[in-house]
Amino acid sequence: MNNISIFIQKEFLHVFRDRKTLLMLFGLPIVQIILFGFALTNEIKNAKIVVCDYAKDAASQQIIEKLKASQQFEIQNILLNHKQIEATFKEGKIKMAVVFPANFNNDLLHQNKTQVQLITDASDPNTATTISGYASQIIMDYRNELMQLQDLPYQIDTEMRMIYNPELKAAVNFVPGVMSLILLLVCVLMTSVAIVKEKEMGTMEILLVSPFNPFLVIVSKAVPYLALSLINLTIILLLSVFVLGMPINGSVLLLYAVSTLFIMTALSLGLLISNSTASQQAAMLISLMGMLVPSILFTGFMFPLENMPYPLQLVSHIIPAKWYYIIVKSIMVKGLGFSAIWKETLVLFGMTLLLLVVNIKKFKIRLT
């Protein structure tokens, strides 16, 4: 045990003596959080919505048909009451709910005035505003068609309701995104480089010719980066709460617990990379191109996954950051508990386990 502790001490010394990297590690999340995520508008296609139709009359049916026919929407379900809407939102499968009040057609024909309610999940504010805009447009089109048939001042008010993030703060979208990227960067990149450095400098050669268990070399390497990542996580959370005014709605403890799991996933990925490369440049390149870029693309915080072609959506399933992003959003923004995120957590857990098994199998007790 004594020699593991000196090994970990040594790793901390490496980290603290490399001032530039250290500065980058802590500077990066701060800069990213402050600069990131403003005004990213994206075109929406096939957003999943539900309809809650209390009216069930000709007018509501016609609007539903129009929504169905549009490229932008894909109607998942016709629901019967409000309670179900909330439940479907929590599952995270839909972006918007359209609610027709009872007597929709009657009001329209007799009072010439009625209203439709659009409820959107604003934890992704860009998508929320865009799709509610599309929906209002379609409803207005319907009204205009009616007015061409009969010259009456029909009026359909669309009432917008945002849930989860009524103030439309963009922060709720990019803070979880930045969290997953920073943790990936620190854990995958820094760990793989740190281990490959031992190989490149030749110190691995000496460590192998010693009684020290080679696998512990790697465990000891991971410890400082686990610690650094948790510090980084804390910095990001503090910034988002006190600078961006974005509260943590769910359990902070749960957030740290799943983050630790995600850090482990990333560390095992870093290990895998360091196992398969021989130079620091190669490790860096694979970490950046093979890990960071796909994570930016497929996590869903920059480019909505719903808009991607199906094969790419399948690709996104193997990106750990995607699952972590969903979890963080559920906890931080929606304030949900473990019961809501257990599936995603299980996926991350499974990935970590798989990666660790592969690592142990691939681990080399000799030079190649």
Partner 1 sequence: MKNVVLNNISKTYDNGMVQAVSDVSFHVNQGELFGLIGPDGAGKTSIFRILTTLLLPDGGSASVNGLDVVENYKTIRKNVGYMPGKFSLYQDLTVQENLNFFATIFNTSVKENYDLIKDIYVQLEPFKDRRAGKLSGGMKQKLALCCALIHRPTVLFLDEPTTGVDVVSRKEFWDMLKRLKQQGITILVSTPYMDEATLCERIALIQTGSIMSIDTPENIITQFPENLFAVRSDNMGNLLHDLKKAKIIKSCNAFGAYHHVTFRDVSPEVKEKLIRVLEEKKHTNIELKPVTPTIEDCFIYLMEK
Looking at 5-13, 222-230, 274-282, 316-324, which segment touches partner 1 (CB under 8 A)? 5-13
Q: Which of 200, 362, 344 is nearest to 269 (CA)?
A: 362
Nearer to partner 1 by Cβ, of 125 and 224: the residue is: 224
Residues 17-76 that bind partner 1 (CB under 8 A): 17-18
Residues 210-239 that bind partner 1 (CB under 8 A): 210-212
Burial letters 243-255, b for 16+ CB under 10 A, else e: ebebebebeeebb
Per the CB < 8 A criterion, the answer to whether 252 and 153 are in contact is: no
User: Of these, 208, 235, 254, 356, which contacts partner 1 (CB under 8 A)?
Assistant: 208
Which uninterrupted H or E stretch holds 157? strand 155-163
Residue 283 beta carbon to partner 1: minimum distance, rounded to whole angstroms: 18
Helix then strand count (H, E) for the chain reads 16, 5
Looking at 92-100, 127-135, 195-203, 244-252, which segment touches partner 1 (CB under 8 A)? 195-203
Per the CB < 8 A criterion, the answer to whether 295 and 321 are in contact is: yes
Looking at 9-17, 223-231, 316-324, 345-353, which segment touches partner 1 (CB under 8 A)? 9-17
Longest dimension (CA), the chain: 92
Residues 86-145 that bind partner 1 (CB under 8 A): none
Q: Which of 127, 114, 126, 75 is nearest to 97 (CA)?
A: 75
Nearer to partner 1 by Cβ, of 69 and 209: the residue is: 209
Residue 18 beta carbon to partner 1: minimum distance, rounded to whole angstroms: 7
User: Of these, 22, 31, 147, 201, which contacts partner 1 (CB under 8 A)?
Assistant: 201
Residue where the block lists tokens 């309610």: 117
Residue where the block lists tokens 């250290």: 22
Please work out the total of residues on this chain that contact partner 1, with binding judged by CB under 8 A: 23
Nearer to partner 1 by Cβ, of 145 and 205: the residue is: 205
Nearer to partner 1 by Cβ, of 202 and 311: the residue is: 202
Is residue 205 part of the contact set for partner 1 (CB under 8 A)? yes
CA distance 173 to 37: 8
Residue 190 beta carbon to partner 1: minimum distance, rounded to whole angstroms: 15
Q: Which of 162, 107, 127, 129 is nearest to 44 (CA)?
A: 127
Phi and psi, residue 93, nearest 5°? -90, -20
User: Of these, 152, 206, 318, 360, which contacts partner 1 (CB under 8 A)?
Assistant: 206
Residue by residue, DSSP assigns 108-155 as: IIIISEEEEEEEEETTSHHHHHHHHHHHHHHHHHHHHHHHHHS-S--E
Residue 196 beta carbon to partner 1: minimum distance, rounded to whole angstroms: 15
Which uninterrupted H or E stretch holds 295? helix 293-298
Beta bridge partner(s), residue 143: none
Residue 25 beta carbon to partner 1: minimum distance, rounded to whole angstroms: 16
Is residue 153 part of the contact set for partner 1 (CB under 8 A)? no
Residue 200 beta carbon to partner 1: minimum distance, rounded to whole angstroms: 10
Residue 286 beta carbon to partner 1: minimum distance, rounded to whole angstroms: 22
Residue 10 beta carbon to partner 1: minimum distance, rounded to whole angstroms: 5
CA distance 41 to 45: 13
Nearer to partner 1 by Cβ, of 163 and 216: the residue is: 216
Looking at 4-12, 75-83, 90-98, 143-151, which segment touches partner 1 (CB under 8 A)? 4-12
Provide CB contacts within 8 A for 283, sequence distance 6+: 189, 192, 193, 195, 196, 273, 274, 277
Binding site for partner 1 (CB under 8 A): 2-3, 6-7, 10, 13-14, 17-18, 201-203, 205-212, 365-367
